Structure 1
Amino acid sequence: MYQYVLAIHIIFVVCWMAGLFYMVRLFIYHTEAQQKPEPARAILAEQFEIMERKLWWIITTPSMYLVLAAGITMVTINPPLLKQPWLHVKLLFVIGLIAYHFICQQKMKQMAGGVFKWTSTQLRLWNELATVILFAIVFLVVLKSAINWIFGVISIIAFSMILMSAVKIYKYFRLKK
């Protein structure tokens, strides 16, 4: 039974992450559409709001709840998991990902209300945060090691710096055109 629940957990992690990644990409396009002249701006805004709402409520949010339900079920089936230090660290990252999820939901509501507080560059960087959290969780689960904090923290910081540099380089070449 545990293996079936684990498979469901993994499948819906993929769905949840895909939804989060694509949602922020839609936010970027939605934000950039605000620079378009009317009527294109209104048409694009309406279309992005429809896409964001459907992605959020049909795929992303249900996937998050199924991930959490499967995770809780796995711990219920195999309670000794809760004694594993790597799982404690993973759960902290999961809490961070849940917070990320609800911040994205708030962004979606703001944009639907015509409020655009973040630039497309800030949103690109925001998108990379989910990538960093995903990397941290996958490495914790695969390696099952929460002991080597120095290496882990340095690696995540280095990876984050590489991602931020890539976003900045992309912005430079995009603006150069």
Structure 2
Amino acid sequence: MAYYYLKALHIVFVVTWFAGMFYMPRLFIYATEANDKPDPEKSILQAQFKIMMRRLWLGITWPSAIITLVLGLTVLFKGNWHTQLLEPAGKWAFIKLILVFFLYLYHFSLHRIYKQEQAGLYRYSSQQLRMWNEVATVFLIAIVMLATVKSAISMVWGIVGMVFLVLVLMLAIKVYKKLRE
């Protein structure tokens, strides 16, 4: 019974973690675009975005990432999924864990950008940040598909679907850029 509560809490914190990872790059974009504004508007906007970033990143996103990891490992071991990771029935869970590992690398990359922007360094264009923003979307869809469909999904069709999704997202970003210009 406790296993299901832990699993439910894990999902709740995954959702809040992703919410932070979805919104944080948007704040990066807004702060970067504020560079094009004249002072005092530029400095006012960037000061406000720094506050918003700090509260989101340190108050929601980081705590959610840590709690997600702790609860995820607890669910993995309490549900005995760790015993099946290298067996055919657990292949989906093994691939999911690999994707989660890369998701944490993505999280750390956002942290690096966060630290840079908090220091007033805007190294990426808003277009680059828009593309980087979609990485979380790709991870979310891949991980949710693996967790729900499990072994019923064909690896080939899963990869084809993810490539198609990435192409659609990149096209949408390019179309959005054209519309803004």
TM-score (ref. length: structure 1)? 0.95
Q: Secondary structure at the match of 2:134?
A: helix
Match of 1:166 among 152, 165, 172: 172
After superposition, residues 32-47 of structure 1 pair within 5 angstroms as 32-47=33-48
Q: Secondary structure at the match of 2:122?
A: coil
Match of 2:160 in 1: 154
Question: How many residues of Structure 1 are paired with residues of Structure 2 in the alignment?
Answer: 175
Deviation at 1:18, TM superposition (A): 0.4
Distance 1:80 1:133 in 2: 21
Superimposed CA distance per residue, residues 108-167 of structure 1 (whole angstroms, 9 cap, x where no aligned partner)? 111122211111111111111110010000000001128722111111010000011111
The share of aligned pairs that are identical, in percent, is 45
Distance 1:80 1:36 in 2: 52
Q: Secondary structure at the match of 1:106?
A: helix
User: Which one is further off, 142-151 or 127-136?
Assistant: 142-151
Q: Say if 1:30 and 1:44, in contact at 8 Å, map to a contact too.
A: yes
Match of 2:144 in 1: 138
Match of 2:28 in 1: 27
Q: Say if 1:82 and 1:88, in contact at 8 Å, map to a contact too.
A: no
Match of 1:93 in 2: 99
Match of 2:56 in 1: 55
Match of 1:2 in 2: 3
Runs of 4+ in 1 over 6 A off after TM superposition: none
Distance 2:152 2:125 in 1: 35
Match of 1:64 in 2: 65
**What residue ranges of structure 2 are gaps of 5+ in the alignment?**
85-89
**What residue ranges of structure 1 are gaps of 5+ in the alignment?**
none
RMSD: 1.2
Deviation at 1:76, TM superposition (A): 2.1
